[in-house]
Amino acid sequence: MTVRERAGIAAATRIVVKVGSSSISGDNADQITPLVDALAAAHGRGAEIVLVSSGAIATGMPYLQLDERPTDLATQQAAASVGQNLLIFRYQDSLRRYKIIAGQVLLTAGDLDNPAPRSNAQRAMERLLGLRILPIVNENDTVATHEIRFGDNDRLAALVATLIKADVLVLLSDVDALYTKPPHLPGAERIARVGLGEKLDGVEFTGSGRSGVGTGGASTKVSAARLAADAGTGVLVTATGLVAKALAGGAVGTWFEPAAQHAEHPEHLVHPLP
């Protein structure tokens, strides 16, 4: 189905939700519980849910006695190796309350850039969803290199949404919506809706938005949202704390209007945006 408005999320049959590192790690690790509550509610009404979750490196950092995100690739890979295991355990431990089983899917950009592994990934995801498993997707940080990384998990989520032709993509962060300028600045106004192909002239977005444990920011969310919307998936950008309202079709966040139909061959979208 094509979801044209945010209210239609409540009836969507295939939903991808992306959550960032800062929302579910460190002091916010307990936010996994309400996030799972919201996902389980949508799963319980029959929707197919895919969670794209950052947080492997951030989760592993304390166990490597690191106070901040490492900058060298080898240490990032080590932290991800430790953290991914713990992150999936935390999700599964919470999902167990609803008798929902999670499946781990780790991808690199190369997996979606080449026809054979892309087809394999698509087949695996379709089978997991058909079995009512909740796939939890992350970049394979343990083996990915700087040259082949997606860049951020907003982009990964958009690519996963196009791969499985999701009805809706929900991008979560610590901000309730997109604003005309950083929301802490005077005069910042919430952007409720972005039409297909609409230019955001005069809008000031910060760059990476690095939180100390993750990457991404308003600009990466806009790029990812446009990517998915152009391929036929409606996109909602909102705060992690509003995920239950978002999945119920509530009037929250910023809605990106999708193209009228799903792209038949979205593989070209893997390459970096200009």
Annotated binding site for substrate: 54, 141, 153
Which amino acids are annotated as binding site, given as ranges?
18, 54, 141, 153, 173-174
Instruction: Please name which of 256, 167, 270, 164 lies closest in space to residue 218, comparing C-alpha atoms.
Output: 256
- Cα separation, 250 vs 232, in Å, equals 21
Contact by Cβ (8 Å): 218, 175: yes
Q: Give me 31's structure tokens.
A: 């936010």
Burial 183-207 (b: 16+ CB within 10 A, else e): eeeeeeeebeebeeeeeeeebebee
Which amino acids are annotated as binding site for ATP, given as ranges?
18, 173-174
Burial of 1 (C-beta count, 10 Å sphere; 0-12/13-18/19+): exposed
Beta carbons within 10 angstroms of residue 71's beta carbon: 7
Helix (H) or strand (E) holding 196: none
Q: Give me 120's structure tokens.
A: 């394999």
Burial of 131 (C-beta count, 10 Å sphere; 0-12/13-18/19+): exposed
End-to-end CA distance of the chain: 30
DSSP state of 106: E
